[in-house]
Amino acid sequence: MELVFADRLAEAKGFIGRASVVVGGLLDVLVQAFWERRASASIAREVGVGMDRRTWNGGWMGVLWSDVRQAVRTLRRSPGFALVAVSTLALGIGATTAVFSVVNALLLRPLPYADASRLVAVWPSATSNKTMVHRVAESVTALKSVSGISIWTVTVTGDTAAPEEVEVALVSPNHFETLGATPVLGRSFTAEEGRIGTDGVIVLSDAYWRRRCGRRVAVQLLTESAVLALAGGGLGVGLAFGLLRLIVSRAPADLPDIASISVDATVLGFALGASLLSSFLFGLAPVLRARGATAADALRQGMRGGIGAPRHAVVSHLLVGAEIGLAVLLVVGAGLMVRTLGRMYAVDPGFHAGGVLAFRVSPPSFRYGDAPAIRSFYSQLRERLAAIPAIESVAGIQLLPVTNGNWSFPVFIDGNPVPEGGTAPSVNFRVTTPATSRRCASRCWRAERSSRVTRTARCASRSSTDPWRNSSSRVRSRSAGRSASSARRTRSSVLPATSISVRSIRSRVRRCTSLTIRSTGMCPCGS
Amino acid sequence: METIDPTTLLPLHPLEFRILLVLLEGASHGYRIVRAIEERERGISRIYPANLYRRIRDLQQKGLVEESAPPRGAGVDARRTYVRVTSLGRRVARLEAERLEVLVMEAREHRLLAEGGR
């Protein structure tokens, strides 16, 4: 049989041809093995010997059951090997399944919208507004439907539940129509609800509806039972759950569709396939070896010389070599990743995070509707925090350093007008209280001082007064030209500093370095 | 010696019948059988080793083929095992051909085939 296989392989042309021979041969062995076992059971049933009652009464399922029991008995005799093998499979399949879950959710699975491939996202470089959305809809006739979206976070308060910060999106009335999505319950927006004054309508997400409103809309199907029969695969899936939770918890928040990463039916199918493939591949070599020893007796044909020990040695060496190669690859890859992580952590961000506790506060706009109320809130907050003996200093900033997102404004330069249809360069800025400036921002600004654009930011930073005490501060771009009315407009920086950081001189808060609660209840800059 | 009724071995599996037809021309080994069958079928079906040897073993167990010395003129390759058809195999092959002929005639009566050929 090996000779026929070798002849076929020698005649096959190209990689695909050879792969076809190998895969076809493997499948052939599997199919024929099944029929062999079935025929054996049939003979045993006729003769009534050689197999127990349960086996020859049960047809091919009985044969399978007999094989499983025999395998379990064999593994019991060498529990150490079984434990190592199952653990190895569980680790491999678990890790692979977890990674596949992420890849499947982020890359492979299409977006959960009708005709997702026809959806296009446009991110304007400058600040966008409703007029821009309308203009795009009118001018770009190739687009069937255009809707605008602006994502914010707000704090939801209530009499019973604790305040909760949730992500919201201000959208055009035709948003769901553009996405091709329909609500599970209720309705989406009407065109009239896009007008100011009649826009107090919201659509809740399914996850929020379940969590906050306590009703279950749909029943989730469980598809795990089919895979749990395989010990390695089952353990691997369990491990994948844990790994996945870890991956999701550590993933950047702006990863698309992060909430949908889960161990679903596709992933379980992958795990089952991986289990079966690995058991087949790793079981094949011993099967070939065992079969080679009895081939002459069993078939009395095929080969007289047998495949012999040297060929077994070659196969073993190839397997061991491949194993070592893969292990080295894994170790090198893991080492490089650890080194990269180490270097990332070693990057000097320009401030010392040790002993600093950062958190976000979000005063709801219906309770703190105007600037004096908000100032009063922050003033009290700062005084109370500063009164705690363990706290060394308190500072505020509208957006923490090294976090996702930026606030920016356009810069207009004298004698250098923005060309027609072009956009003015924009400047990212952060407004801080003096304490933050001393601890953090000064080094940040110093590092970027050579940048022309940053000079504007420095200017903005210097002119910013302490918002804790003053009723208002004025942040104005020094580069703003007289011809640029929008830049000349004075920005009312009532209180952009809504992230508070405190430094403790005691160890009890040293472990807490980043607890944040974001505030977007109000945009003091008026942007 | 126990006499086997050839009709009890009918019908033959199509691949077994094909193997017998090839071996009617003389002793042969596995790969040559595969090539001969595939050439006659002009690539319609592909025969894999495990399937082939299971069929050859079944034919051996039924007494339709047996191991043989390499035919004269064949290259000496000690690794290859040659098989040839037995007299029982010839009888069974003839009976199988007659059985199939009846089927073909019936198909022709139903105008599935043109008279006198394809």
DSSP state string for A273-324: HHHHHHHHHHHHHHHHHHHHHHHHHHHS-S-SS-SHHHHHHHHHHHHHHHHH
Q: How many CB pairs under 8 A join A and B?
A: 69
Q: pTM (2 decimals)?
A: 0.36
Distance of alpha carbon A462 from alpha carbon A496, whole angstroms: 15
Using the predicted structure, report yes or no on whether residue B54 has a pLDDT greater than 80.
yes
Q: Which of A386, A391, A392, A362 is nearest to A499 (CA)?
A: A362
Using the predicted structure, report yes or no on whether residue B103 has a pLDDT greater than 50.
yes
Q: Which residue has the higher pLDDT, A404 or A516?
A: A404
| Average confidence score pLDDT of chain A | 67
Residue A24, SS3 per DSSP: helix
| Average confidence score pLDDT of chain B | 87
Q: How confident is the model at residue A523 (pLDDT cuts 50, 70, 90)?
A: very low
Do the chains contact at A1 and B30, CB–CB below 8 Å?
yes
Using the predicted structure, report yes or no on whether residue B84 has a pLDDT greater than 90.
yes
Is B7 within 8 Å of chain A by CB? no
Nearest by CB to residue B79, choosing from A3, A27, A32, is A3
Instruction: List chain A residues with CB under 8 Å of B51.
Output: 28, 31-32
Is A29 within 8 Å of chain B by CB? yes
Chain A, nearest residue to B65 by Cα? A301
Q: Which of A271, A285, A286 is nearest to A236 (CA)?
A: A271
How much is the average pLDDT of A381-387? 86
Residue A504's pLDDT is: 42
Do the chains contact at A300 and B34, CB–CB below 8 Å?
no
Q: Which residue has the higher pLDDT, A282 or A482?
A: A282
Residue A462's pLDDT is: 37
Q: Which of 3.30.1310.10, 2.20.25.90, 1.10.10.10, 1.10.150.240 would CATH assign to domain B10-109?
A: 1.10.10.10
Q: Which of A447, A493, A448, A504 is nearest to A470 (CA)?
A: A493
Q: A66 vs A48, A60, A73, A406, CA distance in Å?
A: 16, 10, 11, 65
Instruction: Give how far A322 is from chain B: nearest CA, Å.
Output: 27
Using the predicted structure, report yes or no on whether residue A219 has a pLDDT greater than 70.
no
Is B79 within 8 Å of chain A by CB? yes
Distance of alpha carbon A168 from alpha carbon A152, whole angstroms: 5
Helix intervals (H) in A399-468: 434-436, 442-447, 452-463
Domain ranges of chain B: 10-109
Q: Which of A484, A497, A252 is nearest to A394 (CA)?
A: A497
Residue A125's pLDDT is: 63
- Parallel, antiparallel or unpaired: strands A391-397 and A407-410: unpaired
Instruction: Give how far B106 is from chain A: nearest CA, Å.
Output: 32
Instruction: List chain A residues with CB under 8 Å of B67.
Output: 300-301
Which pair of tokens denotes residue A304?
């007289």
Do the chains contact at B57 and A8, CB–CB below 8 Å?
no
Do the chains contact at B53 and A301, CB–CB below 8 Å?
yes
- Read off the pLDDT of residues A97-117 as tens digits, 9 standing for 90 and up: 878 887 877 777 777 787 878
The top-scoring range by mean pLDDT among A61-65, A190-194, A309-313, B103-107 is: B103-107
ipTM confidence score: 0.73
Q: Give CA torsion, residues A291, A294, A299, A305, to 10 deg.
A: 100
Residue A311's pLDDT is: 58
The top-scoring range by mean pLDDT among A33-42, A87-96, A502-511 is: A87-96
- Read off the pLDDT of residues A44-95 as tens digits, 9 standing for 90 and up: 666 554 444 444 445 667 767 777 777 778 778 878 877 887 787 788 777 8
Question: Residue A471 class from Cβ within 10 Å (0-12 exposed, 13-18 middle, 19+ buried)?
Answer: exposed
Is B71 within 8 Å of chain A by CB? no
Instruction: List chain B residues with CB under 8 Å of A27.
Output: 48
Do the chains contact at A300 and B54, CB–CB below 8 Å?
no
Is A22 within 8 Å of chain B by CB? no
| Upper half-sphere CA count for residue A165 (Cβ side, 13 Å) | 13
Q: How confident is the model at residue A267 (pLDDT cuts 50, 70, 90)?
A: confident
Q: How confident is the model at residue A404 (pLDDT cuts 50, 70, 90)?
A: low
In contact, A445 and A454? CB cutoff 8 Å:
yes
Is B48 within 8 Å of chain A by CB? yes
DSSP A177-209: HHHT---SSS----GGGGSTTS-------HHHH
- Read off the pLDDT of residues A429-487 as tens digits, 9 standing for 90 and up: 777 776 544 444 444 444 333 333 333 333 333 333 333 333 232 333 333 333 333 33
